[in-house]
C-alpha cells in the first residue's frame, strides 16, 4: 500500500472540473484508491463522494492506494495534484 499526504495547491481545490479530472485519472487504475480529509475517507473513483469531502485550497488530504498498479497510480496522481492543476490556475 502507498500512502501520500498532499496539500492542495490549486486555487479551486477538488471541486467541479479539478475533481472530475482527478476522478477520471484515478478511475483508470485497477488499485483501490481512497482519498481522506480529516477522519472521512471515500472511494476516489466516485465523483460524488470526492465532492462530498469539500476539499479546498490549502487542505491536506491523505491518499491510500493499494493494488497491482499502485506505484504508477501514486506517481500520476501526485503529478496531477502537485503540478498539473496548480499550473492551470495561473
Q: Looking at the predicted structure, is the pLDDT value of residue 90 above 80?
A: no
Number of domain units in the chain: 1
Instruction: Give the global pTM.
Output: 0.95
- Distance CA(3)–CA(86), nearest Å, equals 21
- Expressed as residue numbers, the domain containing 8 is 2-88
pLDDT reading at 89 higher than 90: no
Work out the percent of the chain whose per-residue pLDDT is above 90. Answer: 96
Catalytic residue among 2, 11, 15, 21: 15
Active site residue 27: no
DSSP per-residue letters across 12-47: TTTSHHHHHHHHHHHHT-SSEEEEEETTEEEETT-H
Across the range 8-28, mean pLDDT stands at 95
The domain that holds 29 is classified in CATH as 3.30.1340.10
* Per-residue pLDDT at 52 exceeds 90: yes
> Do 72 and 29 contact (CB within 8 A), yes or no?
yes
Strand partners, 4: 63
Mean pLDDT of the chain: 97
| The three cell numbers locating residue 31 | 488499485
Contact 63, 6 (CB under 8 A): yes
Amino acid at each position: 500500500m502507498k500512502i501520500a499526504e498532499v496539500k492542495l495547491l490549486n486555487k479551486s481545490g477538488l471541486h467541479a472540473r479539478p475533481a472530475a479530472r482527478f476522478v477520471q485519472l484515478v478511475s483508470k487504475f485497477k488499485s483501490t484508491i481512497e482519498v481522506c480529509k480529516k477522519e472521512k475517507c471515500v472511494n476516489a473513483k466516485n465523483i460524488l463522494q470526492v465532492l462530498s469531502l469539500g476539499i479546498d485550497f490549502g487542505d491536506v488530504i491523505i491518499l491510500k492506494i493499494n493494488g497491482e498498479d499502485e506505484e504508477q497510480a501514486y506517481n500520476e496522481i501526485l503529478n496531477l495534484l502537485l503540478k498539473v492543476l496548480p499550473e492551470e490556475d495561473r
